[in-house]
């Protein structure tokens, strides 16, 4: 079976090993060397590319790290490298980078150009803060980023008093401003004309299931070339986020970006939009899936900690039968899951929070963006006046698994929200964790930090009850 897609302005049909990364495909097979390898772990963004996928009758573009993207995942899509963004002369962003000296050695620069174009193609608002969110997955070691920000801002001036209401208008505007080459206009019809073939899962007994691949390709990118890889994107199709009765369901292949952009999530957890920027980078969020994040079983998995506080259930399938298990019971020990080798995760179920409820998520890492937590913690709390009706508290980085804080959660039930309760909770939590000292901090630090973050939860949830000094001891 051949993969068929459009690479920049060129139709490609290839029988390449589907586990080859798009980075290697571009650099080695297409000799398009503007896309650089800086780390092969999705942490520098020098390899950023755009992937455009048909969604209705328009194309949804996303920036992704090509070092973590198997070429199978661009089947039927539009792959854009920096070369595919060049116009005659320079785009206004490229020109600004040159004039501002927002590029020095030039190695990271193509990645910034790609990520900024992702911003132009998909942002809801043309402002500087949003632009930065799209650029947090890109590292520049030379300039210190200040001139990259000022370059980005220069271009924003072109969008003053401009509005776009649909995809076609946006593409037309970007082309008219010289920010995108003309050929983008025809991409929807060209993509629609591609007849995709689907590869069925072969021999599911001895397979590696790959969801978004943002962890697996870091850990074993080259080994995957020799393995029987099943890309779950071929299996977990259909809706990403939906409600059935009193339950909210999340497809295991839903990405963090899918959640971030979901109107359902926005309604139930309006805070999610603010905290999503703390999870990886735009490129990672566009690929990292809930199923992948849970099954990687990292003790600090951001989504695992989030979902634990929602008392989520996970649904597993071996292709024939399906079973469900509470997420808090799914994590058994360090990187040990209640999962058989032939099972993959289908979906995650959450009982919709009832009554009055509050939600809070806290994460502290060395660097605020694109970093792994030292400690992260999440809480969902139902209340009636000052009385707590139910509570689920979780924390990462404090045990061999993403931890549901069972004693602490029970401690809260039917109690009244007071400073004494908050302090008691912090102590209870400290007593049920077992952090270790590692590169993300000492055990002592993690314990003290979790206690402070629990107080930060209460400060955020009940600003009318707590004063700042309540949390500062």
Partner 1 sequence: MLNYDSIRHVRGESIFLDDYGAPQGTLFGAVFYSPSAHGKIKSLDISGAVKHPGVRAVLTANDIPGENQIGGIIQDEKLLADTEVEFIGEPVAFVVAESFLTARKAAKKIKIEIEKLEVITNPKTACEKGRLIMDPRTYSCGNPEEAWSKCGLVFEGTVESGGQEHLYLETQSSLAIPIEGGSIKIISSTQNPTAIQRTAAKVLGMTDNHFECEAMRLGGGFGGKEDQATAWAVLAALGCKVTGKPVKVVLSRQEDMRLTGKRHPYISDYKIGFSKEGKILAYEVSFYQNAGAAADLSPAILDRTLAHCTGSYFIPNVKATGYSCKTNLPPNTAFRGFGGPQGMFVLEAAIHKAAEKLNVLPYELQEKNLIREGEEFPYGQKTEFCKAEACWNEAKSKFNFESVKIEVDKFNANSKLFKKGFAVMPICFGISFTNTMLNQASSLVHVYADGSVSVSTGAVEMGQGVNMKIRQVAAAIFGISTDRIRSEFTNTTRNANTSATAASSGADMNGNATRIACEEIAERLKKFYISANKLDERTVITFENGFVYTNGKKTDTSWEQIVISAYKSRIDLSSHGFYATPKIHFDPAANKGRPFAYHVYGTAVITATLDCIRGTYEFDSVNIVHDFGKSINPVIDRSQAEGALMQGIGWLTLEEIIFNEQGRLTTDTLSAYKVPDIGFTPKKIEIEFLENKDVNAGVFNSKAIGEPPFMYGIAAYFALVNAVKAANGNREVSINAPMTPEKAFMNIYGEKK
- CA neighbor of 116 nearest in space, from 146, 144, 155: 155
Of 319 and 463, nearer to partner 1 (C-beta) is 463
Question: Residue 35 in contact with residue 66, Cβ under 8 Å?
Answer: yes
CB 97, min distance to partner 1, A = 5
Which residues, numbered 358-387, are part of the site for partner 1 (CB under 8 A)? Answer: 362, 364-372, 374
- Identify the H or E element spanning 45: none
Which residues, numbered 221-280, are part of the site for partner 1 (CB under 8 A)? Answer: 222, 225
Interface pattern 7-26 for partner 1 (x via CB under 8 A) = --------------------
The span of 79-87, 169-177, 318-326, 407-415 binding partner 1 (CB under 8 A) equals: 79-87
Size of the site for partner 1 (CB under 8 A): 85
The span of 313-321, 338-346, 411-419, 442-450 binding partner 1 (CB under 8 A) equals: 442-450
Verify binding: residue 73, partner 1, rule CB under 8 A. Answer: no
Which residues, numbered 102-121, are part of the site for partner 1 (CB under 8 A)? Answer: 102-110, 113
Interface pattern 29-68 for partner 1 (x via CB under 8 A) = --x-xxxxxxxxx-xx-x----------------------
Of 90 and 465, nearer to partner 1 (C-beta) is 90
Which residues, numbered 451-470, are part of the site for partner 1 (CB under 8 A)? Answer: 452-453, 455-456, 459, 467-469
Of 366 and 386, nearer to partner 1 (C-beta) is 366
Which residues, numbered 149-168, are part of the site for partner 1 (CB under 8 A)? Answer: 149
CB 114, min distance to partner 1, A = 9
> In three state form, how does the secondary structure of 84-149 look?
HHCCCCCCHHHHHHHHHCCCCCCCCHHHHHHHHHHHHHHCCCCCHHHHHHHHCCCCCCCCCCHHHH
CB 349, min distance to partner 1, A = 31
CB 402, min distance to partner 1, A = 17
Interface pattern 116-145 for partner 1 (x via CB under 8 A) = ----------------x--xx-xxxxxxxx
Of 33 and 389, nearer to partner 1 (C-beta) is 33
**C-alpha distances out from residue 405 to 308, 337, 397, 402, Å:** 9, 18, 12, 10
**C-alpha distances out from residue 291 to 22, 104, 138, 316, 399, Å:** 22, 39, 25, 10, 20
Which residues, numbered 84-103, are part of the site for partner 1 (CB under 8 A)? Answer: 86, 90, 93-95, 97-103
Angle at the Cα of 256 from the Cα atoms of 250 and 262, rounded to 5 degrees: 60
Interface pattern 187-226 for partner 1 (x via CB under 8 A) = -------------------------------x---x--x-
Question: Residue 382 in contact with residue 389, Cβ under 8 Å?
Answer: yes
CB 106, min distance to partner 1, A = 3
CB 5, min distance to partner 1, A = 20
b vs e for 268-305, b when ≥16 Cβ sit within 10 Å of the residue's Cβ? bbeebeebbbbbbbbbbbbbbbbbbbbbbbbbbbbbbb
Contacts (Cβ under 8 Å, ≥6 apart) of 471: 422, 452, 455, 456, 458, 459
Of 211 and 365, nearer to partner 1 (C-beta) is 365
What is d(CA 215, CA 274) in angstroms, rounded to the nearest whole number? 23
What is d(CA 165, CA 455) in angstroms, rounded to the nearest whole number? 43
Q: Which long-range contacts (CB under 8 A, 24 or more apart) does 404-408 make?
A: 404/308, 404/327, 404/328, 405/429, 405/432, 405/433, 406/328, 406/432, 407/431, 407/432, 408/432
Question: Residue 344 in contact with residue 316, Cβ under 8 Å?
Answer: yes
| Coil, helix or strand at residue 51 | strand
CB 441, min distance to partner 1, A = 5
Of 134 and 331, nearer to partner 1 (C-beta) is 134
Of 99 and 406, nearer to partner 1 (C-beta) is 99
Which residues, numbered 399-428, are part of the site for partner 1 (CB under 8 A)? Answer: none
Of 105 and 387, nearer to partner 1 (C-beta) is 105
- Per the DSSP assignment, residues forming a β-bridge with 403 are 395
- CA neighbor of 252 nearest in space, from 208, 291, 215: 291
CB 338, min distance to partner 1, A = 27
Query: What's the Rg (C-alpha) of the chain?
Result: 23
């Amino acid at each position: 079976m051949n993969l068929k897609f459009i690479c920049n302005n060129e139709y490609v049909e290839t029988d390449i090993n589907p586990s080859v990364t798009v980075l290697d495909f571009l650099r080695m097979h297409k000799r398009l060397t503007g896309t650089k390898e800086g780390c092969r772990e999705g942490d520098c963004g020098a390899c950023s590319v755009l992937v455009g996928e048909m969604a209705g009758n328009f194309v949804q573009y996303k920036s992704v790290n090509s070092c973590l993207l198997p070429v199978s995942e661009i089947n039927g899509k539009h792959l854009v490298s920096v070369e595919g963004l060049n116009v005659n002369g320079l785009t206004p962003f490229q020109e600004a980078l040159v004039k501002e000296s927002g590029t020095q050695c030039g190695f990271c620069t193509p990645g910034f150009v790609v990520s900024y174009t992702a911003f132009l193609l998909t942002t809801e608002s043309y402002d500087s803060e949003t632009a930065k969110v799209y650029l947090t997955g890109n590292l520049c070691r030379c300039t210190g980023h200040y001139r990259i920000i000022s370059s980005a801002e220069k271009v924003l001036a072109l969008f003053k008093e401009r509005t776009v209401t649909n995809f076609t208008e946006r593409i037309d505007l970007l082309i008219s401003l010289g920010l995108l080459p003309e050929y983008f206009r025809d991409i929807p019809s060209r993509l629609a004309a591609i007849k995709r073939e689907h590869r069925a899962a072969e021999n599911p007994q001895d397979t590696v299931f790959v969801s978004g691949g943002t962890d697996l390709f870091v850990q074993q990118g080259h080994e995957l070339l020799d393995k029987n890889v099943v890309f779950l994107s071929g299996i977990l199709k259909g809706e990403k986020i939906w409600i059935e009765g009193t339950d909210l369901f999340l497809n295991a292949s839903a990405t963090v970006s899918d959640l971030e952009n979901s109107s359902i999530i926005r309604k139930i957890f309006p805070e999610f939009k603010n905290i999503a920027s703390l999870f990886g980078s735009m490129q990672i969020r566009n690929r990292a899936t809930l199923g992948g994040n849970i099954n990687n079983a990292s003790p600090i998995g951001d989504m695992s900690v989030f979902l634990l506080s929602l008392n989520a259930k996970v649904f597993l399938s071996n292709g024939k039968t399906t079973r469900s298990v509470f997420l808090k019971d799914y994590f058994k020990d360090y990187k040990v899951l209640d999962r058989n080798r032939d099972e993959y995760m289908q979906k995650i179920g959450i009982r919709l929070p009832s009554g009055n409820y509050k939600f809070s998520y806290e994460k502290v890492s060395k660097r605020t963006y694109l970093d792994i937590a030292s400690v992260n913690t999440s809480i969902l709390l139902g209340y009636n006046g000052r009385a707590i009706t139910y509570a689920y508290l979780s924390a990462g980085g404090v045990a061999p698994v993403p931890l549901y804080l069972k004693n602490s959660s029970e401690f809260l039930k039917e109690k009244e929200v007071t400073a004494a309760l908050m302090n008691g909770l912090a102590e209870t939590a400290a007593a049920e964790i077992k952090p270790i000292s590692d590169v993300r901090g000492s055990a002592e630090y993690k314990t003290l930090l979790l206690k402070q973050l629990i107080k930060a939860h209460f400060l955020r949830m009940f600003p009318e009850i707590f004063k700042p000094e309540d949390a500062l001891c």
